[in-house]
Structure 1
Amino acid sequence: MFKKSLLLFIIITLVSCHATKSPIVTTKKAASKNNAYSSRTKKNSKSRNEVIESTSRTVVTNDIVSNYVLEYKDIAMSNMKTYGIPASIILAQGILESGAGRGDLAVSANNHFGIKCHSDWTGDSVRHDDDARQECFRKYDKVAESFRDHALFLTGKGRYSSLFELDKDDYQAWAKGLRKAGYATDPKYPEKLISYIERYNLAQYDAQVLGIKYRPIENQNTRSIAVSSRNESYYEVQKGDTLYSISKKYNMMVDDLKRKNKLTDNTLYIGQKLKVN
């Protein structure tokens, strides 16, 4: 009986020793899918999903794009003053090239403009699939360094010299000029930049630097929910509204809307009444 028990124990031990955990394999496609799912589930129903095609496919919401603009607008305006590149163009390129800061290169290398290593790059780098497999891209310690390198890249390359002859408030000419100079191979690149500039009123930051009055793009779907006795107009927040969408309806800047209503973040709730005049 003892021998049988001992034999059974030995067999069980041998089986346990040979049992191993199955390896976990991740791929770029699977990771992108998981990131997209995470982006969708972390945001509530007020936000609208948008797919940004840069060096990676990224799913973001309009709130994420708005927050990206608010986070980096000061850097963009500072670079406009120093290097002469419109802040609207800088921000639009950052949104598109980095997936509003959520793309693979932005996360792993703080590279917000998809700038590749090239022969003159001596800094850190990462490998990433783009036009070809495992291409070399620049890596930065801080996002601000990526914004500065973007400015130096444009000002230091002769093929972009014609851009700096354009008016600083003519973002459409700059967007088309970038494509013509070979910054991107996508034939729709100018239209994409212009779309972000107009949808998120990025030209307001050009106006601030140039000291000129900014007129937001008009939206005909404006509606006031209530008007007080002091002729102050209010808007009642509906499902799906964001600070950006409301600012567009009333031809306001997001910063002005937040300041007028003493808002410290971008959180809204249905039924909330916002002062809009």
Structure 2
Amino acid sequence: MKKIITILSLIILIVSCGSSKKVTTRKSKQKTVRVVKNTNQTKGDTPKEEAVIVEETIKETPEVYANKTEEYIAIYSDIAQDEMRNYGIPASITLAQGILESASGQGRLSVEANNHFGIKCHEWTGAKIYHDDDASQECFRKYKNSKYSFRDHSLFLTERKRYAKLFLLEKDDYKGWAKELRAAGYATDRKYPDKLISLIERYQLYRFDADVLGKQTTSNDKHTVVKGDTLYSLSKKYNISIDQLKSLNGLENNDLFIGQVLYVKPIPKDF
């Protein structure tokens, strides 16, 4: 009888040990091991194996941008490309105007009214915001979301006859578009076309036009920063001045970070 009891006890012990293990995982980038003690064990019982639960948590790494303009481009380039597909306005022009008019998304109208293009009320029946511009406390359109500002910009250009000549230009002729915008009366600043072209060249915004049109952009050398890189070493490697590198990439200081992508081809000076 004692032998039978002993055999049964061994069987129970083996089964309980085999079933007490539990391993669970959740998709993530960081693992944490947690040991759970067996609380059902009674006095005199043989100690059972503790459960090991492997937990994984997601730890997000924020994107790092060289400046606010780079961040603006990353956020709104997809919207600008969608508007180009729907209305034929070069994404490069839309982005450059947005950057210029909204101070890279930091201006009051863009922050408080999601108005990235300084479009005034005119016949607008929606929400409004008042802001000093050409005159004191002028009326500007206020949007619930920035994407509606981009759509209104597209409609503003396509629905007014004075901008009709724009749509006779090639969709990747950003220089022609910049000049014709001013000629059609979009802006009174004589340097407005040059400012747009400068932004487009500086940040290679024409690559978004090429993407929509299914074209390849003109070769623009890029360099991904690795450990040990400095602006000085890169200037020597690519035969470009430090000031040109900083200007080309919108850098405000000499700091670089590993993985940062830099443009290392000088800006063309034919405009």
TM range (shorter): 0.5 to 0.7
Flag structure 2 segments of 5+ consecutive residues without an equivalent. 1-63, 235-240, 263-271
Number of equivalenced pairs = 186
CA deviations on 1:243-273 (whole Å, 9 max, x unpaired) are: xx99x96xxx9xxxxxxxxxxxxxx975747
Q: Which runs of 4 or more aligned residues in structure 1 lie more than 3 Å from their structure 2 counterparts after TM superposition?
A: 222-226, 268-276
Change (3 A) 1:80 1:235: farther
- Name the % identity: 53
8 Å CA contact retained: 1:109, 1:139: yes
Quote the Cα distance in structure 1 between the aligned partners of 2:100 and 2:261.
Answer: 32
Residue 114 of structure 2: aligned partner: 110
Quote the offset at 1:87 in angstroms: 0.2
Correspondence list, 1:1-277, <5 A: 63-118=67-122, 120-216=123-219, 236-238=229-231, 270=256, 272=258
CA contact (8 A) 1:204 1:216 kept: no
Is the helix fraction higher in 1 or 2? 1
Tell me the CA shift for residue 225 of structure 1: 9.3
Q: TM-score, normalised by structure 2?
A: 0.61
Corresponding residue SS for 2:80: helix
Structure 1 residue identity aligned to 2:72: Y
- Give 1:97 shift: 0.3
Q: Secondary structure at the match of 2:129?
A: strand
Matched letter for residue 122 of structure 1: T
Distance 1:275 1:158 in 2: 42
**Conservation of the 8 A alpha-carbon contact between 2:224 and 2:259:** no
Structure 1 Cα separation of the partners of residues 207 and 108 of structure 2? 29
Residues 188 and 235 from structure 1, CA distance in 2 versus in 1: closer, same or farther, beyond 3 angstroms?
farther
Contact 1:236 1:274 in 2 (8 A): no
Q: Does structure 1 retain, via aligned residues, the 8 Å contact 2:115–2:141?
A: yes
User: Aligned partners of 1:78, 1:134: CA distance in 2, in Å?
Assistant: 33
Normalized against structure 1, the TM-score is what? 0.60
Decide which structure has the larger Cα Rg and report it. Answer: 2
Q: Which residue is 2:267 aligned to?
A: none
- Flag the 1:87–1:111 CA change in 2: closer, same or farther, 3 A: same
